[in-house]
Amino acid sequence: MGCFSCFDNKEEGDQLNPKISSSHELPMQPPRIEKLSSGLDKQRMKSSVAFKKEHSSMEKEREREEREKEKEKDIIPAGVSISAQTFTFRELATATRNFRPECFLGEGGFGRVYKGRLESTGQVVAIKQLNRDGLQGNREFLVEVLMLSLLHHPNLVSLIGYCADGDQRLLVYEYMPFGSLEDHLHDLPSDKEPLDWNTRMKIAAGAAKGLEYLHDKANPPVIYRDFKSSNILLDETFHPKLSDFGLAKLGPVGDKSHVSTRVMGTYGYCAPEYAMTGQLTVKSDVYSFGVVLLELITGRRAIDSTRPHGEQNLVSWARPLFNDRRKLPKMADPRLEGQYPMRGLYQALAVASMCIQSEAASRPLIADVVTALSYLASQTYDPATAHAGPGRTERPGKAMQPGNNNSNSNNSSGNNVNNINSKERDESPRDFVAGILNKDFDRERAVAEAKMWGENWREKRKAMINNGNGNGVQGNEESSPSMSS
C-alpha cells in the first residue's frame, strides 16, 4: 500500500476518475461563436462600467454636498434665501472684456478683482473671481454671498450679485473708486498725498460703525474675523466700507461666551486669545480694530519685516511707548508733518491702547469705541488756525508755546508735548477716553455736551479775534475741548 491509500484502491480510483468508453464518446462540437463579445458588445460593456463609475462618483458627490449642507446649517438660518442677483459667467466675462489685464484691480486670499461694466445696466462694478487654488473655497464663497445678502449698512460694501456657473465662482460688488485703506497708508507713490488727520479719524469712525452694526445690530451677532486695512474700501469721499466677509462667523448666543473655530485671519491682526485657543468673540474684532487704528495714527504696517527687529510687529513696538507720554508724539505718522491736534493724538492713541489689551475682557465694546472716535472725527482740525494767531505764521509741524512768541524754531515734533499748558500736562489722555468708555456713561449726552462746548468755544474765539486778542486765543486753545490744536 502506498502512502496515499486512495490511489492504491482501483475501484475507488475508477470512481474518482471514470473512463469514458469510445462507444459513448461525445461528438466534437464547434465553439459557440455567438457567446464571444463583438466590438460593439465590448463598447457597451465599457460604457456600462463607465456609467457605473460615474453614477458612483455622482452619488459620492451628492453625499459630499449633503455633508456640506449639514455643515452650513450653523451659517444659514432656516427659511433664509439668498436674494442677490445671479449672473452667468459669460455676462461677467463681457463686463470685464474677458478679464483683460487693464481691468485688473488687485488680488487677495479669495482671488483676483477686476473692474467691469454690466452690459444690462451700464453700472460700474468690482468683480472678484475665486482662485480655485487659493486659500478660500466654496464655503467662504457661500458665507460671503449669504452675509452680504442679509446685512445692509452704509459702512458695509454692497453685494450686487454672484456667479456659480459650473466650477466658476465670482462675486459682484459696488465699485469703490479709491481702493483700500492700505493703498493710502503704505508704499505711497511720490505723487500721492498722504491722508490728513481729519480723513484718518473719519475713516476710523466709519469702520468702527460697520463693526458696531455687525456686533450689536445684526441678530445673531456677526464676528467679522478678518478686520484689516486691506479690507476697508473707500469711495471718492473717503467714506469707508468693510468688505470680504468670507471668514465671517456667527457670534455666540444665549449663555455662550464664545464660539470655537479653526484659527483664520491675517497675522498681525489676530487677537492673541483667538490665535492660541481658537475661541472667538466680538472682542477679537475689537483687537483687530485697534491694530488698524494704530496703522492710521502711525502710518506703519501691522507686520513690517523691513524694519529693525524690535519694530517689525506694530503692537509690540507700540505697547511700551504708551507708558511714557513724552514718547506719544513720536508715534504719529511722519508724513503728517506735525499737522494734527496734540490732544486728539493722545486720545486716539488711548482708544487704540485699550483696544489692543492682551486680555479680551479689558477691551472696550465697539459701541463705546464708536462714541469716542465719532467725537474725535467731529472736531475738524485746521492747521491754519491751530498754530498761529492773526498776523503770525508758523512752519508746519512746529507747535507754538502758549503765551510765548519766542518759541525755539528748532524744536522737533517729539518735543511738542512741552508745548501743552499745565492743565493738559496734568490730564492723562486716558481720562478723557475712560469717561467715554465707561459702560454707565450717557454717551449721547456726552457727545451733545461736547458739541455744545465746542460751539461755545468757537463763538468765544471769534469774539476774541474781533477784539484783536489773538494771543489770548492761542494761549487757551491747546486746552480747549474742541481739540483744534
286-316 burial code (b ≥16 CB/10 A, e <16): bbbbbbbbbbbbbbbbbeeeeeeeeebbbbe
CA 301/CA 317 separation, integer angstroms: 11
Q: What is the pLDDT of residues 414-462, one digit of tens each?
A: 444 344 344 444 445 555 555 545 544 444 555 455 556 556 656 666 6
Bridge partners for 171 per DSSP: 128, 162
**Integer Cα distance of 77 and 74 in angstroms:** 7
Percent of the chain with pLDDT over 70: 61
Asked if residue 163 belongs to a domain, the reply is yes
Tell me, what CATH number does 202's domain have? 1.10.510.10
Look at the alpha carbons of 134, 137, 140, 142 in this order and tell me if their dihedral is positive or negative.
positive
Predicted confidence (pLDDT) per residue in 37-94, tens digit: 555 565 666 666 666 666 676 676 666 556 545 544 444 445 556 668 899 999 999 9
Phi, psi of 104 (to 5 degrees): -70, 130
Specify whether 8 is catalytic.
no
The DSSP bridge pattern shows strands 159-163 and 85-86 to be parallel
Q: Are residues 115 and 207 in the same domain?
A: no
174, 191, 213 - which closes a domain: 174
Shared-domain flag, residues 122 and 224: no
**Residue type, position 327, single letter:** K
What's the confidence (pLDDT) of residue 470? 45
70 in a structural domain: no
Pairwise pLDDT comparison (41 vs 477), residue with the higher score: 41
Residue 472: predicted pLDDT: 41
The whole-number pLDDT of residue 80 equals 56
**Judgement on whether residues 130 and 268 belong to the same structural domain of the protein:** no
> Under DSSP, is residue 107 helix (H, G, I), strand (E, B) or coil?
strand
Among 11-20, 279-288, 367-376, 472-481, whose mean pLDDT is lowest? Answer: 472-481
Residue 56 covered by a domain: no
Most confident of 144-153, 196-205, 275-284: 196-205
Tens digits of residue pLDDT in 13-43: 444 445 544 445 555 555 554 444 555 565 6
d(CA 108, CA 246): 12
Angstrom distances, CA of residue 14 to CA of 5, 7, 321, 418: 14, 10, 107, 123
Residue 281 contacts residue 221 (beta carbons within 8 Å) = no
Identify whether residues 195 and 290 lie together within a single domain: yes
Residue 206 shares a structural domain with residue 245: yes
- Binned at pLDDT 50, 70 and 90, residue 247 comes out as confident
**pLDDT given at position 115:** 95
Q: Is 46 annotated as a binding residue?
A: no
Cα–Cα distance measured from residue 432 to residue 324, given in angstroms and rounded to the nearest whole number: 17
CATH of the domain at 165: 3.30.200.20
Say whether both 213 and 361 belong to one domain. Answer: yes
Confidence class of residue 262 from pLDDT cuts 50, 70 and 90? confident
CA gap 244, 132 in Å, rounded: 17
In this structure, the answer to whether residues 192 and 147 fall within a common structural domain is no
Flag whether 43 is in a domain: no
Q: Are residues 246 and 130 in the same domain?
A: no
Claim to verify: residue 320 and residue 381 sit in the same structural domain:
yes
Is there a domain that residue 26 lies in?
no
Residue 385: CB atoms within 10 A of its CB come to 16
Indicate whether 257 and 350 sit together in one domain. Answer: yes
Domain of residue 152, residue span: 85-174
* 333-345 mean pLDDT: 94
Task: Pick the last residue of a domain from 156, 174, 192.
Answer: 174
pLDDT of residue 260: 73
- Flag whether 465 is in a domain: yes
End residue of a domain, out of 174, 203, 219: 174
Say which of 165, 226, 285, 368 is annotated catalytic. 226
Band of the pLDDT at 385, cuts 50, 70, 90?
A: confident
Q: What is the 3-state secondary structure (H, E, C) of 54-75?
A: HHHHHHHHHHHHHHHHHHHCCC
Same domain, 225 and 94: no
Residues 138, 186 share a domain: no
In a domain, 401, yes or no: yes
Number of domains in the chain: 2
Report if residue 420 sits inside a domain.
Answer: yes
Local confidence band at 249 (pLDDT 50, 70, 90 cut-offs): confident
Other Cβ atoms within 10 Å of 285 Cβ, number: 26
